[in-house]
Amino acid sequence: MTAITKYLVIKRLAGDTITILAVKEYLVDNLSPSTIGHKYRISKFRVRGYVQRVMDKAKNHRVAAAIVKRVFPYVIDIDPIILRVSGKYLCLLCNQQLRHEQVEHHIRRKHKDLVQTLVSQIVSGVRKEVR
């Protein structure tokens, strides 16, 4: 659960909400990759790619779906720290300008503590619910 949560938290902090919605709508709402792709104007292969990244971190489809379903409301509640300004990306926490391909690396490296805190808050929140 931690690995999937971390993946989704980093996507959300990066402002990449489409990836999170695509994964959730595929695994939880059982929409097809082409329906999701059409909705967000991305290819169905990209949708499959996003889902695969999550599936790699779980034992099977059912487990992945259960985790994403539980974690989704918490993840979507996080405020992104990356703002997209005319094709460039600005980190609101350290005011650094980034290129698109640097964004996730930046979050992982410079805001590791924030990611860690959010992930453990979400994981313990979900575990409390389940009990």
CB of 124 to Zn ion, least distance (A): 25
Quick one: which segment of 14-22, 32-40, 56-64, 107-115 binds Zn ion (CB under 5 A)? Answer: 107-115
DSSP letters of the chain? -HHHHHHHHHHHHTT-HHHHHHHHHHHTS---HHHHHHHHT--HHHHHHHHHHHHTTSSSHHHHHHHHHHHHHHHHTSPPSEEEETTEEEETTT--EE-GGGHHHHHHHHTHHHHHHHHHHHHHHHHHHH-
Quick one: which segment of 25-33, 37-45, 55-63, 89-97 binds Zn ion (CB under 5 A)? Answer: 89-97
Any contact of residue 110 with Zn ion (CB under 5 A)?
yes
Quick one: which segment of 22-30, 55-63, 105-113, 117-125 binds Zn ion (CB under 5 A)? Answer: 105-113
- Cβ-closest residue to Zn ion? 91
Any contact of residue 91 with Zn ion (CB under 5 A)?
yes
> Interface with Zn ion by CB under 5 A: which residues?
91, 93-94, 110
